């Protein structure tokens, strides 16, 4: 197992920028029973599944300074250089119905957008289904993996969260520079990661508990408010099929309601979305 991160790194980050102690000190409750920081790992999502066996029934947050095999949506790689960004996976134990698993991704997206807005003052929005956006550029994303059985999610849900914090434009592959950004690029400021991670975990705890206690509607209302997708013309790619239309609304399970040029409405549960402006 990778060793716990004890030093800030190669000088690209400041002392104390990433530490379990600093993150835990800024949490508002003991909901997150284990918060562990690592240096380089293959994937925080994969590691989180392994550690859930070591800490059963505990809500866990795993953070890495870098990932060798970071995971994105649809099997894509998430480029994860050291010393600058947030690569985190959390483990939740829940018995939510599998058809409502999208609500956990929505909870994480709303939590991240809210925390980043409060911390940085940026107009962070959510592009369906799980991209965090600033000025039409991607600043982060969410990847949810679950184990299910017997009609319920069988306790274990892993939510991966990636946020571009202190990356420079030159850190991105050339083909991504027009579509990706970071908090530092947008504000010109350096951000300490431990405090930001604590803010995200506090918001995620809040929205997850609200989902359990008040149901889906307060969460979906906030998701709609933060959406960059609704009210826009969009193109959705699903495998070899491409559909264009008007992003009219989300349904109760977080699926996109797409109004086609014919006037017909289509329910989209997954796909690659491009906002046409």
215 with 245, same domain: the answer is no
Give the 3-state secondary structure of residue 71.
Answer: strand
The Cα 155–Cα 148 span in angstroms is 8
Locus of tokens 């991160």: 5
Quick one: 143 and 191 in the same domain? yes
Q: Which domain holds residue 260?
A: 233-276
Number of domains making up the chain? 2
Rg (CA), the chain: 18
pLDDT in tens, 236-268: 999 899 999 999 999 999 999 999 999 999 999
90 forms beta bridges with: 61, 159
Q: Are residues 106 and 186 in the same domain?
A: yes
Q: Are residues 200 and 237 in the same domain?
A: no
Residues 135 and 203 in one domain: yes
**If you average pLDDT over residues 27-38, what whole number do you get?**
96
Q: What is the pLDDT of residue 145?
A: 87
Q: Report pLDDT digits (tens) over 148-197.
A: 555 555 678 999 999 999 998 888 888 888 899 999 999 999 999 999 99
CATH number at residue 106: 3.30.930.10
CATH number for 239: 2.30.30.100
Q: b or e along 252-271 (b: 16 or more beta carbons within 10 Å of the residue's beta carbon)? A: ebbbbbbeeeeeeeeebeeb
Beta bridge partners of 245: 234, 260
- On whether the CB atoms of residues 101 and 157 are closer than 8 A, the answer is yes
Same domain, 146 and 105: yes
Res 98: pLDDT: 80
pTM for this structure? 0.89
Domain boundary among 207, 226, 245: 226
In a domain, 6, yes or no: no
Residue 250, Cβ density class (10 Å: 0-12 exposed, 13-18 middle, ≥19 buried): buried
- The DSSP letter of residue 185 is H
202 and 237 in a common domain: no
Q: What is the pLDDT of residues 108-146, one digit of tens each?
A: 999 999 999 999 999 999 999 999 999 999 999 999 988
């Amino acid at each position: 197992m990778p060793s716990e991160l004890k030093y800030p790194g190669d000088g690209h980050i400041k002392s104390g920028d990433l530490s379990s102690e600093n993150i835990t000190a800024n949490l508002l409750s003991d909901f997150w029973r284990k918060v562990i920081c690592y240096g380089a790992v293959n994937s925080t999502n994969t590691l989180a599944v392994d550690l859930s066996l070591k800490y059963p029934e505990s809500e866990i947050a795993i953070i890495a300074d870098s990932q060798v095999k970071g995971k994105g949506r649809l099997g894509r790689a998430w480029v994860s250089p050291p010393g600058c960004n947030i690569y985190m996976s959390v483990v939740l134990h829940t018995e939510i119905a599998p058809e409502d698993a999208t609500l956990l991704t929505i909870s994480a997206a709303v939590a991240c957008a809210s925390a980043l807005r409060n911390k940085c003052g940026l107009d962070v929005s959510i592009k369906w289904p799980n991209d965090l956006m600033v000025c039409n550029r991607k600043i982060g994303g969410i990847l949810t993996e679950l184990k299910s059985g017997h009609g319920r999610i069988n306790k274990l849900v892993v939510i991966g969260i990636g946020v571009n914090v202190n990356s420079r434009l030159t850190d991105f592959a050339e083909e991504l520079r027009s579509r990706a950004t970071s908090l530092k690029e947008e504000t010109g400021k350096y951000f300490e990661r431990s405090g930001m991670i604590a803010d995200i975990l506090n918001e995620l705890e809040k929205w997850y508990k609200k989902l359990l206690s008040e149901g889906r509607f307060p969460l979906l209302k906030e998701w709609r408010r933060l959406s960059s997708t609704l009210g826009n013309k969009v193109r959705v790619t699903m495998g070899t099929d491409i559909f264009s239309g008007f992003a009219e609304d989300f349904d109760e399970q977080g699926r996109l309601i797409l109004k086609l040029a014919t006037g017909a409405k289509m329910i989209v549960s997954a796909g690659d979305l491009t906002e046409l402006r």
